[in-house]
Amino acid sequence: MLRPGHDLMDMERFLDFAVSLAKDCGKIISKSFRKTHSIKYKGPVDIVTEVDIASQHLAVGGIKKAFPHHSILAEEENALISNETKFKWIIDPLDGTTNYAHGVPIFCFSIALEVDSEIVLGCAYNPVLNELFYALSGQGAYFNGKKVNVSKNDCFEKSLLSTGFPYDKKTNPDNNFNHFRDISISVRGIRRLGSAVLDLCYTAAGFLDGYWELNLNPWDMASGSLMVKEAGGIVSDFCQKPLNIYNRRILASNGLIHDKLSKILCG
Task: Give the pLDDT confidence of 162-172 residue by residue, as tens digits.
Answer: 999 987 777 77
With b meaning 16 or more CB within 10 Å and e meaning fewer, what string describes 230-240? bbbbbbbbbeb
Q: What is the pLDDT of residues 203-236, one digit of tens each?
A: 999 999 999 999 999 999 999 999 999 999 999 9
Relative to beta strand 131-136, strand 210-213 is: unpaired
Intervals of CATH 3.40.190.80 along the chain: 156-266
Q: What is the radius of gyration, based on Cα positions, of the chain? A: 18
Rounded to the nearest 5 percent, the helix, strand and coil shares of the chain are 35, 25, 40
Q: What CATH homologous superfamily does 6-148 map to?
A: Fructose-1,6-Bisphosphatase, subunit A, domain 1 (3.30.540.10)
Q: Which residues of the chain have pLDDT under 50?
A: 3-6
pTM of the model: 0.95
Check residue 5 and give its pLDDT.
43
What's the CATH architecture for 156-266?
3-Layer(aba) Sandwich (3.40)
Q: How far apart are CA 113 and CA 223, in angstroms?
A: 8
Check residue 47 and give its pLDDT.
85
Intervals of CATH 3.30.540.10 along the chain: 6-148
